[in-house]
């Protein structure tokens, strides 16, 4: 036996109603549940037992392929068999099989098995009666109803309703309560704030935005008579203080003087709230958190929920990508502007469970977090989790440091769509981040940048992609040292997390020759040749460990003590090694050595640009940008010609 919602038969002076609770909006479609009202008594949610043959009826009529297909991608692999990636364990090739004829699923990897009800129970965390009801609703099967002979009989069955069902109903009632309060005189500031953020009446209705009044008792008094105290205390909507005798104190509202944003589960049921404060400090001058979330409880676990997944999942499957933003207002603005495959992590740490939820609908994601330090850190963590699940990831950083909400309001959805289309590969974004965090040209800076990237590289599952990432990183970080390039490639291939920092990167013979020439007196021809060439071609030395020292000496004569020209210990060590040289009679003139060194620098510059162009050509071809592709190919042909003649 299992329980399902029904309507009671009432006697004189009594009424059974499916209308909203008093004071709540009445323009919504009634929920499939009973609210039974008796004069002077609490409203009850009535559930009745229904014979098991109804579950069999639902199972016979349910299309398990369609139901499972709402959660993950399936492909036909036989007359009646469909295959996809198992949602119950990590895997790269699909071992999850669904049999349409016999109505079961089985995973050849983790051996999970069951029918359509078992699947929905596991995916949505439902009880068996709830799963039967959910599948019936998905299939458009009418739910059976039963009349009661008396309110007492209805009350007995009502007391059997599970806490989870009561909490779902309570959150729905709270949502209606907050919506109604947003229309009250007290909420004028809240309405003014929302209007200033470009929130329309349509947006308020779509996302059911509301207002929690600045009152400890009003919400409790409005909802309390209609729900058991156990449900009120478990909901997270109320708090209480323990009394001196150890008893629980009176309940009071958790959300006060805040704009409320309902958080729904994947099925669209409200299970929690995020609430934004209107003030920065309370009446006593204490700081107030801008946003607070419902505490975790029987319905809500923040690491398992993505804001807007219920509305976005269909478009995610259709367009085959998801847009990830940080905050609810970012998500709401983008969604209402017309991009519906957008999700918000709601300020919480992105989790593996959330990644798996997204993977049921697409394996491609565009990350668009705020450009501040916290946003960049969150983006890096999110990229890592997505890459570990074999996602194709791109990253958008909006112009002017704007967040998605403000960008869409100020520059429009067309401009935002263009930014999404021009999103960087995650590897390019991370390499740029590494260059920002380790801007120096020393060996330590380059190793630091490498070690920033290696944890991301090691998460990539395909060896070829790891090697390509490492090659791109070496090119863009200016790692010309054969030793460092080899260490980076080996670390990527072996999926290690870091490489050791060398105290001083060995000097090349080119650097030794140029440093010896530049410390000579101003009239010396070798110095003139070296200084003139380096001053005119700074790009030749941009990626050398001694670049800063060479640039300093090229633009000013060396001091009496040449070591004083070095600004760091590493630079002084480099210069000391270069000057620790005793010329031999058989050595060619220094001027000739300088000419050879300059020739080497120019050749290296051409080779470096050649490598960069290979990556740029591949990226332009992948994006279908024919104009840039033609430009890069023409430049590469010219570089190839110069290298042949050099």
**149 and 14 share one domain:** yes
Number of domains within the chain: 5
**257 and 321 share one domain:** no
pLDDT for position 611: 81
**295 and 173 share one domain:** yes
Question: DSSP 3-state helix, strand, coil percentages of the chain (rounded to 5)?
Answer: 50, 10, 35
> Which residue, chain included where needed, has tokens 């419902």?
294
Answer with the residue of higher pLDDT: 158 or 539.
539
**219 and 86 share one domain:** no
**354 and 287 share one domain:** no
Does some domain include residue 508? no
Does some domain include residue 415? yes
Collect all residues with Cβ–Cβ distance below 8 Å to 435 and sequence separation of at least 6.
449, 476, 477
Of 422, 447, 468, which residue sits at a domain end? 422
Of 373, 403, 422, which residue sits at a domain end? 422
For residue 8, name the pLDDT band (cuts at 50, 70, 90): very low
Nearest-CA neighbor of 608 among 471, 450, 439, 449? Answer: 471
CATH number, domain of 11, equals 3.90.580.10
**324 and 397 share one domain:** yes
Per-residue pLDDT tens digits for 273-293: 999 999 988 888 888 889 999
Does some domain include residue 374? yes
Question: What CA–CA distance (Å, rounded) separates 488 from 495?
Answer: 10
Question: What CA–CA distance (Å, rounded) separates 485 from 594?
Answer: 26
CB atoms closer than 10 angstroms to residue 598: 20
CATH number, domain of 403, equals 3.40.1360.10
Residue 482 has pLDDT above 80, yes or no: no
**276 and 203 share one domain:** yes
Question: According to the per-residue pLDDT averaged within each range, which of 46-50, 293-297, 603-607 is highest?
Answer: 293-297
Q: What is the mean pLDDT of residues 402-413?
A: 93
Q: And the tokens for 611? A: 């490598």
**398 and 487 share one domain:** no
Residue 467 has pLDDT above 90, yes or no: no
**584 and 536 share one domain:** yes
Of 75-79, 292-296, 340-344, 381-385, the least confident:
75-79
In what side-by-side order are the strands of the sheet with 96-99?
75-76, 81-84, 96-99, 104-107, 113-114
**149 and 272 share one domain:** no
Residue 161 has pLDDT above 70, yes or no: no
Collect all residues with Cβ–Cβ distance below 8 Å to 630 and sequence separation of at least 6.
none
| Average predicted confidence (pLDDT) for the chain | 82
Of 158-167, 178-187, 329-338, the least confident:
158-167
Of 114-128, 323-337, 573-587, the least confident:
573-587
Does some domain include residue 352? yes
| Radius of gyration over every alpha carbon of the chain, rounded to an integer in angstroms | 33
Of 143, 161, 179, which residue sits at a domain end? 161
Burial category of 554 from C-beta neighbours within 10 Å (exposed 0-12, middle 13-18, buried 19 and up): buried
% of the chain beyond a pLDDT of 90: 34
**445 and 558 share one domain:** no
> Which residue, chain included where needed, has tokens 């949610």?
45
Does some domain include residue 511? no
Q: How far is CA 373 from CA 33, 289, 310, 425, 426, in A?
A: 47, 19, 30, 20, 17
Query: Which residue range(s) make up the domain with 450?
Result: 430-494
Q: What is the mean pLDDT of residues 486-491?
A: 67
Give yes or no for a contact between 79 and 173, defined as CB atoms under 8 angstroms apart. no
pLDDT for position 21: 43
Question: What CA–CA distance (Å, rounded) separates 279 from 259?
Answer: 11
Give yes or no for a contact between 562 and 575, defined as CB atoms under 8 angstroms apart. yes
CATH number, domain of 248, equals 3.90.980.10
**36 and 155 share one domain:** yes
Per-residue pLDDT tens digits for 34-63: 333 333 333 333 444 444 678 888 888 889
Residue 299 has pLDDT above 50, yes or no: yes
pLDDT for position 311: 95
Does some domain include residue 354? yes
Give yes or no for a contact between 98 and 87, defined as CB atoms under 8 angstroms apart. no
Question: What CA–CA distance (Å, rounded) separates 628 from 394?
Answer: 20
Does some domain include residue 127? yes
Q: What is the mean pLDDT of residues 139-168?
A: 64
For residue 495, name the pLDDT band (cuts at 50, 70, 90): low
**Angle CA 548–518–485, to nearest 5:** 45
Question: What CA–CA distance (Å, rounded) separates 600 from 361?
Answer: 53
Question: What CA–CA distance (Å, rounded) separates 472 from 21?
Answer: 61
pLDDT for position 192: 95
Q: What's the predicted TM-score (pTM) here?
A: 0.65
Sign of the dihedral defined by the CA atoms of residues 598, 604, 606, 608, in that order = negative
Residue 160 has pLDDT above 80, yes or no: no
pLDDT for position 209: 97
For residue 147, name the pLDDT band (cuts at 50, 70, 90): low
Does some domain include residue 512? no
């Amino acid at each position: 036996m299992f329980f399902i919602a029904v309507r009671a038969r009432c006697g004189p002076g009594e009424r059974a109603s499916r209308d909203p609770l008093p004071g709540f909006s009445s323009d919504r479609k009634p929920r499939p549940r009973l609210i039974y009202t008796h004069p002077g008594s609490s409203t009850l949610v009535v559930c009745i037992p229904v014979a098991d043959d109804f579950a069999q009826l639902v199972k016979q009529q349910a299309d398990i392929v369609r139901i499972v297909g709402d959660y993950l991608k399936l492909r036909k692999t036989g007359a009646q068999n469909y295959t996809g990636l198992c949602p119950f364990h990590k895997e790269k090739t699909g071992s999850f099989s669904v049999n349409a004829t016999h109505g079961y699923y089985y995973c050849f990897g983790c051996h999970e098995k069951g029918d359509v009800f078992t699947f929905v129970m596991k995916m949505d965390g439902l009880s068996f009666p709830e799963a039967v009801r959910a599948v019936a609703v998905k299939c458009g099967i009418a739910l059976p109803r039963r009349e009661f002979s008396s309110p007492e009989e209805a009350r007995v069955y009502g007391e059997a309703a599970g806490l989870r069902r009561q909490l779902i109903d309570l959150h729905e009632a709270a949502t209606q309560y907050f919506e109604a309060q947003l229309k009250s005189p007290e909420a004028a500031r809240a309405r003014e704030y929302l209007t200033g953020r470009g929130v329309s009446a349509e947006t308020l209705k779509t996302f059911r935005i509301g207002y929690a009044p600045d009152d400890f008792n009003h919400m409790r008094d409005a909802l309390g008579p209609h729900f058991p105290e156990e449900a009120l205390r478990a909901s997270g909507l109320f708090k209480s203080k323990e009394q001196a005798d150890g008893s629980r104190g009176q309940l009071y509202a958790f959300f006060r003087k805040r704009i409320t944003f309902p958080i729904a589960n994947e099925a669209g049921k409200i299970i929690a709230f995020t609430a934004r404060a209107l003030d920065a400090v309370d009446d006593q001058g204490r700081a107030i958190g801008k946003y607070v979330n419902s505490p975790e409880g029987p319905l809500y676990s923040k690491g398992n929920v993505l804001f807007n997944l219920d509305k976005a999942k269909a478009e995610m499957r259709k367009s085959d990508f998801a847009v990830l933003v940080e905050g609810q207002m970012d998500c709401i603005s983008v969604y209402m502007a017309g991009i519906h495959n957008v999700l918000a992590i709601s300020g919480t740490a992105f989790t593996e469970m959330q990644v798996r939820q997204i993977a049921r609908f697409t394996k491609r994601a565009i990350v668009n977090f705020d450009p501040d330090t916290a946003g960049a850190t969150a983006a890096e963590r999110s990229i890592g989790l997505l890459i570990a699940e074999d996602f194709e990831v791109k990253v958008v950083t909006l112009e002017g440091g704007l967040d998605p909400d403000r960008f869409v309001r100020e520059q429009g959805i067309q401009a935002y769509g263009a930014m999404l289309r021009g999103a960087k590969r995650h590897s390019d974004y991370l390499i740029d981040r590494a260059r920002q965090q380790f801007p120096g040209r020393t060996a330590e800076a380059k190793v630091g940048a490498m070690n920033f990237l290696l944890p991301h590289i090691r998460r990539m599952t395909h060896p070829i992609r790891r090697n390509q990432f490492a090659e791109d990183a070496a090119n863009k970080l200016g790692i010309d040292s054969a030793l460092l390039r080899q260490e980076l490639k080996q670390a990527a291939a072996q999926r290690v997390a870091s490489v050791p920092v060398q105290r001083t990167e060995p000097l090349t013979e080119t650097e030794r020759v140029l440093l010896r020439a530049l410390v000579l007196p101003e009239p010396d021809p070798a110095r003139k040749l070296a200084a003139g060439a380096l001053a005119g071609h700074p790009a030749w030395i941009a990626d050398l460990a001694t670049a800063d020292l060479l640039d300093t000496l090229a633009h000013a004569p060396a001091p009496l003590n040449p070591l004083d020209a070095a600004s760091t210990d590493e630079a002084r060590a480099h210069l000391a090694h270069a000057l620790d040289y005793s010329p031999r009679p058989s050595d060619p003139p220094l001027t000739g050595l300088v000419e050879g060194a300059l020739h080497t620098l120019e050749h290296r510059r051409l080779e470096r640009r050649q490598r960069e162009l290979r990556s740029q050509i591949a990226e332009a071809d992948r994006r279908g940008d024919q104009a840039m592709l033609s430009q890069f190919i023409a430049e590469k042909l010219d570089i190839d010609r110069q290298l042949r003649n050099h």
